[in-house]
Structures are given as structure tokens and as C-alpha cells.
Amino acid sequence: MDAIARSLADTGLPHPLLVSAARAAVCAGDAALARQIAEKTAGQFLRPVINATGTLLHTNLGRAQLEGGACRGAVNLELDLATGRRGLRTSSVSKLLCSLTGAEAATVVNNGAAALLLVLATLAPGQPVIVSRGELVEIGGGFRIPEVLATSGARLVEVGTTNKTRLADYAEALGGLAPETRPLLLKVHQSNYRIVGFTQSVTTAELATLGVPLVVDLGSGLLDAGTPWLRSAPPRFLAGEPAARQTLVQGAALVTFSGDKLLGGPQAGLIAGSADLVSRCSRNPLFRALRPGGLVLSELQATLVAYAERRGHEIPFWQMATTPAEEIRERAEAIAGRLGPPVSVCGSLSAVGAGSSPGMEIESAALCLPGDHRIGLIDHEPPVVARVQEGRTLLDLRSVSPGEDGAVESALKHLLSRGPT
């Protein structure tokens, strides 16, 4: 067993896992299976990959890419260095978020789903939460609004229809409630789909006139529709995307959103808005179970500082999303020029991804070659993840940082040197 395990050392797995692979293979009656089992396990280990899919926020690839601001050694997570006393781990991020969105208060949990769960479990246990039938969405990964609501202990009150909901539908539902209830209005970003045609929905500003606390689950985490952190005007793909600052101005009591979608930071869930409501959320015992660790908070702080200092180009997502298509084409042409046929350059349409701005595409350029070479390209160090379209493999360079171009080139060179597959 030990000899088989040792022969698999090149997979990079720690020895005990190689022994498990050897044992599983021997039990299955074929020692030769050990390599296959070990390689399968090694493929599940996290390591850097190159995202050449053109989907900027690719959920399978960890959504927003980070530059790395994380503190690795000891960090003053709950030590206030100004006083030498115990501090609150979310303080810096809360201050930055308030400044960036105009919110009175803000806090952070592990992801967007946790943010919504905490808000509902804090503000509406046993209480009616009124949601449009057009917004009872499934985001993916098992996140379904009716199920999150049920888990939080809140009671779902559906109003309107799939395609049309009017302000009167909400007003009527509120009118039918017993006087002692403490209802909440919930508006949910449809994120990964659009209803088109004969449709109607109610805006945040209209909902805010009903005199009941309104929570808006924004999903994507655009901080400000004016994108003051960019040197140029708001990019076209943001058209119609609701932003935290404007949603609060329009009267939402709270907004919730993800850290790793349009915000471009680490996986986190942000809650911003009324000081009273945020403070109630932070005091809920669930908050302790949902709070992020120092690695996430230091990354998030670095991302928010870049926004505050208007260094949007230093946030990889915004850098990738706003690079002119010609610049991407030039990078692709340089690589294709060195490799020669069958590699060529073609136009591509990048997507934002992660349910943000569905249907909005960003013009881009890709290296392309005939056939499906996805497996060959991930069998490289670092693995390169491409996409296939109309019988061709496309490596869209919008989701690749310029510093990774060399690795993309070497993966292609390696692929071509292995000859036709």
C-alpha cells in the first residue's frame, strides 16, 4: 500500500490521502485504479486557475478575483489599536460602507444569503413579509427566496402575479393584516433572469410610501449608480442595475448584497441602512454564527478602501469590465502572432456573470481554435478554463489579467505541441 502511495507522490496530495487512494483501488480489486482516484482527488484541491471563459464573475471560479490584501499573520481583528481595548471586527468595513453608500450603519456576514437570512430572522420572526410573485426567485446553489423566508421564521405573503405586480397589491395585503402584526416589505433583485413583455413592477420609491420597513435584496452589490470610483462614465452594462446608495435614498430601510459580485471583493454579505435595524441584526445571536473571519474582513477592507480612494482600476473586476475591447484584441493578437495557426483572434462577448446584469454583454476579443480543447487546457499548470462556442474553443482575455497572458500562451503552446487530439 505504501509503495503504491509513494508512486503517486507527483499528484501533490499529502501522503495519507495517497494511502486512501491506494486502499480504495486495492479494495476495488485493481491497484492500477489508484492513480485515477488520486488524480480525481487532486483535481478537487483549490489552486489558482486562469479564467479565460469571458464570464467575469464565474461562480465555479470563485466569482470576483482578488489582488490579495489579506493579512496572513496576527491581525487586530477585535483589538482597537486606538484604545488598546476589545474592538468590533466589523468596524472598519462598516465605516467605509457608510461613507460609500450614505447608509447610517452597516455590517457584514458570510455571504448574501446569510445577510438576507439574518435580516428576516431579526426583523420578522413570525411576521408577514410581503413579496411580489415576480420576485420569488431561485438564485442558484439552492437559494430560493420562499425557502430562505421559511427558514428565517418569517411568513411569506405573496402579492401580484409572475409578470405584473402593482402598488395596490401591496397596499391591499397590508390592509388585510391584523393590527398587531409588524409586517416587512421585501423587494428582491431578479438577478439571473428577466421577465419581458407584458410586465409591471413596483419601484423602491413607490414601496417606501407605504409606511412599512422595506428591505431590498440587491444581490449584485453595485455601491453607487454614479460609479465615482471609475475615471469614465458608468459603463453600459450597468444600465438599470440598482445601486445601494440610490436604493437607500429612495427609501429602503435596509439593503443586502454580496461582496463577490459587482462589488468585486471577497465572498461576504453586506447589510446597510437604518442604524436601528442594523444594530438589531448585529445583536441577534445568529450574527455570531454568520460573521466572517479576519481573512475576509481584511480583503473586504482593502476593496472598500480602493473604492473610497477612487482607485476602481485597482479592483480586478472593474479593471476587467472597463478595459477597452481594442486593448484586449491587441493582447490576443500578440499571443496569436507568436503561436500562429490554428490559433487566431476572434471577437467575443464577455458576460458579467454571477446573476449580475443578465443579458448584458461586453464586447471583447478571444484567442480561438477549432474543436473543443477545454480538457487539454485545464491539464496545464496553472489550469486555463476556456469556453466552447459553435465548435471552437475560445479564450476570452477580458477575464484574464494581463499578467496571466504568458501562462495562457504557454498552455496553448503545450496543447499544440501534443498534436491533434
Ligand X SMILES: *Cc1c(COP(=O)(O)O)cnc(C)c1O
Binding site for ligand X (CB under 6 A): 111-113, 116, 139, 143, 188-189, 191, 217, 219-220, 258, 269, 355
Q: For residues 93 and 116, which CB has a smaller minimum distance to ligand X in the complex?
A: 116
Q: How far is the CB of 112 from ligand X (least distance, A)?
A: 2
Residue with smaller CB distance to ligand X, 42 or 360: 360
Question: Could you tell me the smallest distance in angstroms from the CB atom of residue 232 to ligand X?
Answer: 26
Q: What are the C-alpha distances in Å from 139 to residues 49, 158, 198, 354, 356?
A: 25, 18, 23, 9, 11
Q: Across 61-195, where does the E strand assignment appear? A: 79-80, 85-86, 105-109, 128-132, 138-140, 143-144, 155-159, 184-188
Record the cell numbers describing residue 177, joined without a space: 393584516
In Å, how far from its chain's centre is CA 119?
Answer: 19
| Strand pairing class (344-353; 55-57) | parallel
Indicate the residue among 191 and 204 with the shorter CB distance to ligand X. 191
Nearer to ligand X, 116 or 304 (CB): 116
CB 309, min distance to ligand X, A:
25
- Least spacing, CB of residue 121 vs ligand X, in Å: 15
Give me 273's grid cell.
441602512
Min dist. Cβ of residue 204 to ligand X (A): 14
* DSSP assignment letter at 62: T
* Smaller CB separation from ligand X, 173 or 216: 216
Give the shortest CB-144-to-ligand X separation in angstroms: 10
Query: What region, left, alpha or beta, does residue 102 occupy, with left being phi > 0 and alpha being psi -120 to 50 degrees?
Result: left
How far CA 357 is from CA of 187, 196, 350, 418, in Å, comes to 17, 15, 12, 39
Nearest residue (CB) to ligand X, 55 versus 220:
220
Length of the chain: 421
